Every structure is written in structure tokens, then in C-alpha cells.
Amino acid sequence: MKKYDFLVVGSGLFGAVCAQKLKQAGKQVLVIDKRSHIGGNVYTEKIEGIHVHQYGAHIFHTNNKEVWEYVNRFVEFNRFTNSPVANYKGELYSLPFNMYTFNQMWGVVTPEEAAQKIEEQRKEITGEPSNLEEQAISLVGRDIYEKLIKGYTEKQWGRDCKELPAFIIKRLPVRLTFDNNYFNALYQGIPVRGYTKLVAAMLNGIEVRLDTDYLENKEELDGLAEQVIYTGPIDAYFDYQLGYLEYRSVRFETELLEQANFQGNAAVNYTDRETPWTRIIEHKWFEFGKDDNGNEIPKTIISKEYSSEWKFGDEPYYPVNDEKNTALYQSYKELADKEGKVLFGGRLAEYKYYDMDKVIESALELCSEIL
Ligand code: FAD
Ligand code: UDP
């Protein structure tokens, strides 16, 4: 008899949801993580009363009522709505592209005037857009492409917009209404007192071992449990025998500032090509500038985000779902499907750009299959 029914490798959202569901079903569960904290990439740390998103800004948004109700069982969510501002060489524009943006860009006042302006500018694209540049111009016209899309996208992806797939830009809403809500989602918010509190509540009563690398102690750890749920990188699991999967990486430069308000908004995107960072996050505004006791915070913490090409050893952030990497992932997946004892899930093990709600959905699905 093994000591545990399940060993869950990784205490990010995928691992935490699985552990919670399995424990609720009466299973003995052990969670391990190689990092020194729980939460994976949604980890937040309280500094000077501010919950700092240590691996980049995370805004929870979903259309899935079941997922929304599930996370709300553990903590309260606030009513934060993501409305980033674009800064193009000192000119400020509202995002996503909506009537406020069109008014700021062209001085147009009515939706009809805005539609007409876009129509005039999109004429230069004839036929089906074949890359991101053409797609962007055909959605919002050249002016917005030049000032709000081109520089940002080329910094973020490290490639020319003509070499990027059209679909990337379709994620952003274009609206002929006055609506700065970045997401088209029914439910949106940030866990009050941070994401770490959410994950800790999910893992309540479950044994967690931190600073424990599964792959370095695989044999011993496998010996403890009947089954394993692995949420680390799939290529690492197989010792990179077929090659490395590539990622885009992000570097964060975080500073504590002796002032109460740096930029007046949680996110400001720098959409010109020259500014080296893509955006600046001011963490306190995710919770409206208040600490856990509802008091104004006299200082502020900002993170500048620099997008960078990933190299082996860097933190993997965004999977590069191009043909080459997708094919390599498929080959790894074939190997994974043959591993009877180990189940693979989450953004690293499935090499998928998952939003948080999708990762939770996928973990809930896996649990309903195995329970
Ligand atoms: P992870 O959080 O990466 O967890 C995996 C865990 O496994 C890690 O803790 C890791 O340490 C551990 N692990 C790996 N290998 C081993 C090993 N060998 N041994 C032990 N432990 C191991 N989603 C949104 O919905 N909204 C957002 O605004 C948003 N913003 C984002 C911003 C950025 C910069 C990034 C990169 C992602 C963002 N996401 C956002 C996506 C979100 O971060 C993911 O959906 C979610 O964190 C994935 O959870 P996971 O459990 O699959 O992976
Ligand atoms: N984008 C842009 N200007 C902005 C914000 C986004 O051109 O101010 C583009 C960019 O190409 C990005 C895409 O829109 O990759 C999708 O944006 P989103 O915010 O969804 O990107 P994420 O960081 O979540 O991948």
C-alpha cells in the first residue's frame, strides 16, 4: 500500500484544483512544488501592504459560471475591471479599441463617424488579411495600427507584424460603444487579499512540500503514491529527449516608490517602439489603492515588463504555438499518453496558452474523469 493515492506535482492553479477535488473525494493527496511558495504563476506576495503579482499581472475573467462559483467558494473577489491605458509618446489612449479611443485618435463623436473613419482606412487592405499587420489595419485602420499596435506587438513578440499570424490581434475587442472593459467576460475580478490566499484556501488541510523537485527525486516520490498528476513542463519530464519546446519570456523589474500614485491605473501599455518595456503595472490599483484594512497606502510598487526571447533555463511564460513547436509537443504527448501512472495537465504539461479560468476548467474535467 502506498502512503498517498495521488502525488500532485505543482501547486499552481491546475495542481491546486486537482488536490482540492481529490481530497474532497476522500483521497490521500500530497502536493509538491520545486519553488519555495505555492500558487505557481498566480503567486502574489504582500509588500508594504500591497499584494504584488510576482509573475505578472493576473486578472481573473470568465464566462463560465461553474468556474466563477467554484473560485468564489474559497475567497471573495473584488469588482476590478481591467481598463488599460495606452501611452504613445506621451499621448494617452483608452483600450481596448472603443469610442473613447476613436474620439481621442480622430476627434470623432458618433459611432457613425468612427465607423466611417475606419472604413476609409481599411480600404488599403484588399482580400483576406494574411498577417497581423493586415489584420490590424483591416480591423481598426492604419492610424491605430501605427500608434497602438505596431510598436507594442513587435516588442512583445520580437518579430515584425508582417511575420506574425493574424489571429493574435483578434483577441482584442473593437467596439463602437463607450466601454473601456478589456475583456468580454460575464465575470471578472481579483481575489481580495491576493491569489496566494485563494490557492492556500484550496490547499487547506492538504500536505504540501515546497522546494521539492519531482524530476530530481522521481523514483522516491513515485514510490509514495498510486498515481501522479504532473503540471511541470512536458519536455522536462522526458528529459528533453526530443528537443526543447520554446517560449516567450518576460522579465519584470519591480520597484518600490515613495509616492502614493505613480500612473493612476493598474496597467499602462507603452505602445511606441522606442520605450524598452511593453507595459508598467502599478499593483495597488488591483485593489483600489487600499490595504487589507481598507486604509490608503502611502507608497506604491510598480513592475516594468520587458518581453524577451526565451533561452534554456529562463522561466517559461508564453508557449510559442507555431508549427514547429506544436509538432514537437504532439510527439511528447504521444509519449505522455503511454505513461500509465502519470497524468499531465496545465499550461506547461499541455504546452498551451491557458487563461486561469481555462486551466481550472481543465483541472475540474480531469478530476471528474478520474473520480
Ligand atoms: P503554473 O502556475 O506554472 O504552475 C506549475 C507549477 O509546477 C509551478 O509552481 C512550478 O514551480 C511547478 N513545477 C514545475 N516543474 C516542477 C517539478 N519538476 N517539480 C516540482 N514542481 C514543479 N491568465 C488569466 O486568466 N488572466 C491574466 O490576466 C493572466 N495574465 C498572465 C500574465 C502572464 C505574464 C502569464 C505568463 C500568464 C498569465 N495568465 C493569465 C495565465 C495564468 O498564469 C495560467 O493560466 C495559470 O497560472 C496556469 O496554472 P498552471 O497550474 O497550469 O501552471
Ligand atoms: N496589443 C497591442 N497593443 C496593446 C495591447 C495589445 O497591439 O496595447 C496586441 C499585441 O499584439 C498582443 C495582442 O494584442 O499580443 C493581444 O493582447 P493581449 O492583451 O490579449 O495579450 P496577452 O498579453 O494577454 O497575450
Nearest CA to ligand 2 atom 3: 149
| Over residues 60-75, mean pLDDT | 98
Predicted local distance difference test score (pLDDT) of residue 348: 97
- Ligand 1 touching residue 137 (CB < 6 A): no
At residue 149, does pLDDT exceed 90?
yes
Rounded distance, CA 74 to CA 83, Å? 26
pLDDT tens digits, one per residue of 302-317: 999 999 988 988 888 9
- Listed in sequence order, the residues at least 6 apart from 144 whose beta carbon sits closer than 8 Å to its beta carbon are 97, 101, 105, 136
Residues recognised as catalytic: 171, 175, 248, 279, 305, 353, 355
Of 79-83, 215-219, 320-324, which range is least confident?
A: 320-324
At residue 320, does pLDDT exceed 90?
no
Predicted local distance difference test score (pLDDT) of residue 255: 98
Predicted local distance difference test score (pLDDT) of residue 176: 98
For residue 345, the ligand 1 atom closest to its alpha carbon is: 52
Q: Are 191 and 60 in contact (CB under 8 A)?
A: yes
| Over residues 258-264, mean pLDDT | 98
pLDDT class of 321 with cuts at 50, 70, 90: confident
- Ligand 2 touching residue 229 (CB < 6 A): no
Predicted local distance difference test score (pLDDT) of residue 178: 98
Predicted local distance difference test score (pLDDT) of residue 171: 84
Interval between CA 96 and ligand 2 midpoint (Å): 10
Report the chain's mean pLDDT, rounded to a whole number. Answer: 97
At residue 344, does pLDDT exceed 90?
yes
Rounded distance, CA 4 to CA 298, Å? 47
What's the distance, CA 202 to chain centroid? Answer: 20
- Ligand 1 touching residue 188 (CB < 6 A): no
| Over residues 209-237, mean pLDDT | 98
- Ligand 1 touching residue 183 (CB < 6 A): no
Q: What is the 3-state secondary structure (H, E, C) of the chain?
A: CCCEEEEEECCCHHHHHHHHHHHHCCCCEEEECCCCCCCHHHCEEEECCEEEECCCCCCEEECCHHHHHHHHCCCCECCCCCCCEEEECCEEEECCECHHHHHHHHCCCCHHHHHHHHHHHHCCCCCCCCCHHHHHHHHHCHHHHHHHHHHHHHHHHCCCHHHCCHHHHHHCCECCCCCCCCCCCCEEECECCCHHHHHHHHCCCCEEECCCCCHHHHHHHHCCEEEEEECCCHHHHCCCCCCCCCEEEEEEEEEEECCCCCCCCCEEEECCCCCCCCEEEEHHHHHCCECCCCCECCCEEEEEEEEEECCCCCCCCEECCCHHHHHHHHHHHHHHHCCCCEEECCCCCCCCCCCHHHHHHHHHHHHHHHC
| Over residues 19-30, mean pLDDT | 98
Instruction: Answer whether 0.85 is exceeded by the pTM.
Output: yes
- Ligand 1 touching residue 71 (CB < 6 A): no
Nearest CA to ligand 1 atom 31: 58
Predicted local distance difference test score (pLDDT) of residue 315: 87
Interval between CA 156 and ligand 2 midpoint (Å): 8
